[in-house]
Amino acid sequence: MIIKNENFFVGEFNSAGNAKFIELLRNRPKNLFAELDKITSDSNYSTIFVHKLSWSTPKDRLELAEILWKAFGINGELNSHAGNTNVWNWLSAKLFETLVKGDMKYVIKRKGEEIERWVLLETSRSFHRHHVSGPFVAYRNNWPNVHGALSQLVGPVLELSEVAERTAGKREMAYGNVAALSTLLYVDPKTRKIRTGITDKSGEAQQLSKFFKQLDLTVDYEAMSVRELLDFLPSNFSELVKKVKKENPHLR
């Protein structure tokens, strides 16, 4: 069932629900959507809470994060469940048909994608890649300065940009001033999209990730201001730094 603008009760999977969800994702049967509807309502697989999520169709990862924050954020009724992987897996299954827009051809085409894009496992090391909880975690990690997390939150819900992968994938880069630095470097302030032509060029996100990884044991870069971080970047970032300072005179 495709959910548009409505409130629905949230639940959580038990171990059987998680196992069934994984099985369905791996096999992707023709009646996948109906099966997902079944396991998110069947008491053999799920427990339904008394709290609802107010849902509207998000146009991007940022809007999805904002919707989830209202329910799972600091003042949300579901805040106590924000760290529960069984809830995120249930919600992922509940929203699956909605997020893929009921397109079974797309679902079959993506059969080989990582299970962890939809299911959080106890052994997961890539929580940021999860289509549903990933945007929420980026939003929560940077609250109240969520603008600083835009490099992790711009773009379609089901597409994780290279910039988001590099930024959100390293804990020290996923929040605070380093996350804000990534946003300044890679997000166009006018379009609020990832800058065009940023891949495979000097100062790309992979180079930023490698640079900070080299500093992990020698420099407390998490304590540095955004201006200090900008000035600390090596020469291969010079063109991007120049652009950022032109767009943000207070950082000159």
Over residues 190-209, the mean pLDDT reads: 89
**pLDDT for 171:** 84
**pLDDT for 181:** 97
Q: Could you give the percent of the chain with pLDDT greater than 70?
A: 99
Q: Is 24 exposed, middle or buried (0-12, 13-18, 19+ CB in 10 A)?
A: buried
pLDDT at 122 over 80: no
pLDDT at 30 over 70: yes
**pLDDT for 47:** 98
pLDDT at 125 over 70: no
Q: Could you give the percent of the chain with pLDDT greater than 90?
A: 86
Residue among 166, 184, 162, 169 nearest 230 (CA): 184
Domains of the chain, residue spans: 1-143, 145-252
pLDDT at 127 over 90: no
pLDDT at 4 over 80: yes
pLDDT at 126 over 80: no
Which residue has better confidence, 52 or 200? Answer: 52
pLDDT at 176 over 80: yes
pLDDT at 167 over 70: yes
